[in-house]
Structure 1
């Protein structure tokens, strides 16, 4: 990890913090719609009324402002210098809607790096990249000083696929493959998963 430039590499994937320099790559990953329905990854950061009012350009401007401050709102993931995914992460306190969620309520007082969204660029979906993306993101989180990563994936019911809106938090099998363990299950299809992070270097 190069903490000065906010970069990390894990295998064939590299991670860079969202900033003015990487904003165009973030746009390339999320596409013209800003992910699902004009979200621009503000779902967990705003109330539903604020999110709906800002849908599209308003949410995009809000994320652009976040990209200019610390802690960074997330990272862009690259494969061979091509942006392939976006991951929203940070302290749980940075995600007010997550904090208020009765389903995903905080299970204890342990400080965690909350991984709230993993958005894979459309043409790279179904390629099996999710575990490697999570590995690279955890490497970055460790370098940023976090000791525990926490995710809120969906575990699709048998015979069903997760829809775009529910899959944004990731798929449970990918978290397991990346070394996460289940620590709670508030609903049969929604585990809360954690992974201890090794200090960088």
Structure 2
């Protein structure tokens, strides 16, 4: 498998990774941290996909991993100021550096365990650097080797970010699936 990571700009590919199987389902579409909760919670069914399509008109919403032409992975990455992490009470701001945030990694079943998440993290670093970010933050689970429910592993795992050169910057008050999240940062200068 040869993985290529590129900006997430194709709606059908984004839908393959974060959209619902049923068009009327009200699943995340990876909007939870991208837009205010009131806006996110008010949207239902096909409204969510239409909203993502509209956002894509303004540019990429992160990065996608491809095996040939097949989309196999997704990572949400954007300037922190454009996300709800700008106001998040459980994940601290450590300084006023205009960092970007990486908050969601998803790999399609059948492609897991093949390095796709590592490629996505590397692609997110490159994408943030190309966008002028001085640093990229992530808020992964510090699972200390314990098994993680795949539904809640979207935040990524600390060990994967350490392998990509991220440094632990702060603990957080955020917990997913019983595991604490940590704030990690990769300087891009």
- Shorter-chain TM range is 0.7 to 0.9
> 1:100 maps to which residue?
87
Q: Kindly tell me: are residues 15 and 160 of structure 1, through their superposed partners in 2, closer, same or farther at Cα, counting changes over 3 Å? A: closer
> 1:13 maps to which residue?
3
Q: Does residue 196 of structure 1 match 2:187?
A: yes
Task: Judge conservation of contact 2:7–2:127 (CA < 8 Å) in 1.
Answer: no
Task: Tell me how far 1:77 sits from its aligned partner.
Answer: 1.6
> 1:50 maps to which residue?
39
CA distance in 1, matches of 2:63, 2:145: 32
Task: Judge conservation of contact 1:185–1:192 (CA < 8 Å) in 2.
Answer: yes
Matches for 1:151-170 after TM superposition, within 5 Å? 151-156=138-143, 159-164=146-151, 166-170=152-156
Matches for 1:52-201 after TM superposition, within 5 Å? 52-70=41-59, 72-95=60-83, 97-156=84-143, 159-164=146-151, 166-187=152-173, 189-197=180-188
CA distance in 1, matches of 2:6, 2:118: 17
Q: CA RMSD in A?
A: 2.5
Give the TM-score normalised by the residue count of structure 1: 0.79
Q: Kindly tell me: are residues 85 and 163 of structure 1, through their superposed partners in 2, closer, same or farther at Cα, counting changes over 3 Å? A: closer
Give the number of aligned pairs. 182
Task: Judge conservation of contact 1:150–1:195 (CA < 8 Å) in 2.
Answer: yes
Structure 2 gaps, min length 5 = 174-178
> Could you report, residue by residue, the CA deviation over 1:97-136 in whole angstroms, capped at 9, with x for unpaired residues?
2222111132211111211211212322333422222112
Structure 1 gaps, min length 5 = 1-10
Q: Which moved more, 1:170-179 or 1:41-50?
A: 41-50
